[in-house]
Amino acid sequence: MSAFKGVWVFSENLDLAMEMLSKGRELANKLQTELAAIVIGYNVKEQAEELAKYGTDRVYVVDSPNCRNLQTEPYLSALMHLASKQPPEIILIGSTRRGRELAARLATRLKVGLVQDVFRLDINDDGKITAARVVYGGSGIALTTYQIKPQIATVPPRTFDKPKPSEKKAEIVYESLELEEPKTEVVEIRTAETAKARIEEASVVICGGRGVAKKDDFKMLEELANILGGQVGATRPLAEDRKWFHEWIGLSGKKIKPEIYIGCGISGMIQHIAGIRDSKVIVAINNDPNAPIFEMADYIVVGDMYQIVPALIESLRTVFKK
Amino acid sequence: MPRMIVCLKYAVDVSQIKVDAATRKLLTADAPRKISDFDKNALEEAVKIREKHGGEVIALTATAENASTALREALAMGADKAYMVQASALQNADTMGTALILAEAIKKIGSFDLILCGEASIDSYSGQVGPRLGELLKVPVVTYVNKLELEGDVLKAERSLDECIEVVRVKMPALITVTKEINVPRVPTLMDVIKASRKELKTITPADLGISADLPTTIKVMDVSAPKVERKKVKISGENPKEIAENLIKTLIKDGVLGG
């Protein structure tokens, strides 16, 4: 008899939880076990009702004012309580920054392993998970498996597609649990200055790198993005060293998979490549013919982006009559 | 005055990894190592706190290799002393094993007010050791800190999260992990390097910590290979920027990437 039973999915991010439910469904079917969505938070009845429509067998809800400010400790103790009642085989946690911390601390309390940021999950012949993740800054893909259960993995946003809502609605179970008090005091939350729309959703992404001399020059990239119905993004040095943006595309930032990615003045550090690897088509514009990004590109344009981009804008206007 | 311990990973320098052309396996064993980038930010932050508030900065690493040159660099950057836990078992250790060793080493080093780690390491970028260590030592954990202030025995930390900046207060002892944005690590001067050579650098073995040479493993890495790249690599040419732009658009339309 296996003491471990079921596949769990948890994220404080509702979209991400839904995406993981589609993978969770597949894993649960293969293992012939149940799929459960775990909802933890404060006033989360609506979230639970919503998740119940996405192919899960059950939704466990832990609703507590202790979770008001999203500190990790009450979430952690909620998951520990649930796991002590019925230890699951697999726990998928959404890989937000909060989720990554939560998963590492949960794995420590459960004395088990964790694989962060998996982009592929399968069940192997032993009935255990094989998880793939990017390592060495994008130079390698590591295939890992687990020695003990529960097997915990975190999943980045947009890794799996959201399932279609099903006719059948899952049973919602409200758990009343004693939760740990938060150990930190939240004094302020500032919503970051993010793009109008989420870059992960854009079908076309025009990305600027260190070849962009000043922030104002992004107007040119925005113009190109507007014509193509896309959005602009930046590399980590532009966001961090030059502080032009709050978010960036790359291993430690947003991972995107648009239909078209156009990199302008980007050399192609492996950390950036890790964030664009899944783009359907990669166009790279760089004046250095040896730029590493060209190794990753479908279309290679050797030239000065300050000349190529305006020429592209003009030609596209003619083609699309905009 | 805070007693601070900074955990440093002697990580693989990812920019210098080579790939075996035949097998696509990464030749990580041959790659040079260095202090993981984010850990340098953690060290810099600790040194800045000591410069302002006094106290002590201890650098700690757990490694299968001899990391003494990296620890000398940490001493040159301003750590007061350094400890290296060297154990061959760490060669195949996962984050659980590494965190266990660090926790035991910290218990041996003695009391602390603040432990600082990088948000993750440059080579595995897993971000587990910091939070795991906090759990093992049963202290509050604050991750992804991009601004830190000390007010008596309370830390005020600004966290850079996915959709927001969150400011939290937490009483020490605590563990924080820092992002790259928090500071710019200093480059030691020749004087710093000379001074560092006289500072204390101690090697600890698992036996000194009273733990067995075998570490529990929770994860098994089956394979590490270079990702397959299947890109067209079509070079777009032209006499001038205008022609190149037109050729690019024509090619994209021809290949069905753009609707004409």
String of b and e for B166-197 (b: at least 16 CB within 10 Å)? bbbbbebbbbbbbbbbbbebeebeeeeeeebe
With CB atoms and an 8 Å threshold, state whether A140 touches B260. Answer: no
| A196, pLDDT greater than 60 | no
Helices (H), chain A: 14-31, 45-51, 72-85, 97-109, 218-228, 236-240, 270-276, 305-320
Q: Which residues of A touch B134 (CB under 8 A)?
A: 105
Q: Among all residues of chain A, which has the CA nearest to that of B217?
A: A147
Question: What is the pLDDT, as a whole number, of residue B64?
Answer: 93
With CB atoms and an 8 Å threshold, state whether B220 touches A277. Answer: no
Neighbours of B89 (CB within 10 A): 16
Q: Which residues of A touch B216 (CB under 8 A)?
A: 111
String of b and e for B217-238 (b: at least 16 CB within 10 Å)? bbbeeeebbbbeeebeeeebeb
- Joined tokens for residue B216: 């529990």
- pLDDT tens figures, A80-115: 999 999 999 999 999 999 999 999 999 999 999 999
Mean pLDDT (chain A) is: 93
With CB atoms and an 8 Å threshold, state whether A299 touches B251. Answer: yes
String of b and e for A227-243 (b: at least 16 CB within 10 Å)? bbebbbbbbbebbbeee
The pLDDT of B59-75, averaged and rounded, is: 96
Question: What is the pLDDT, as a whole number, of residue A193?
Answer: 59
Q: Which of residues 57-76 of B touch A (CB under 8 A)?
A: none
Residue A107 and residue B128 in contact, taking contact as beta carbons nearer than 8 Å? yes
Interhelix angle B241-254/A305-320, nearest 10 degrees: 50
Question: What is the pLDDT, as a whole number, of residue A1?
Answer: 39
Interface confidence, given as ipTM, is 0.92
Q: Which residues of A touch B226 (CB under 8 A)?
A: 139-141
Question: What is the pLDDT, as a whole number, of residue A192?
Answer: 65
Q: Is the peptide bond before B131 cis (omega within 30 degrees of 0)?
A: no
The pLDDT of A151-165, averaged and rounded, is: 94
Question: What is the pLDDT, as a whole number, of residue A320?
Answer: 78
- pLDDT tens figures, A28-71: 999 999 999 999 999 999 999 999 999 999 999 999 999 999 99
Q: Which residues of B touch A147 (CB under 8 A)?
A: 217-220
Q: Which residues of B touch A184 (CB under 8 A)?
A: 140, 142, 168-170
Q: Which of residues 132-191 of B touch A (CB under 8 A)?
A: 132, 134-136, 140-144, 156, 159-170, 180-181
Question: What is the pLDDT, as a whole number, of residue B91?
Answer: 86
String of b and e for A189-205 (b: at least 16 CB within 10 Å)? beeeeeeeebbbebebb
Which one of A315, A317, A320 makes the best mutation probe of the B interface by having the most chain B beta carbons within 10 Å?
A315
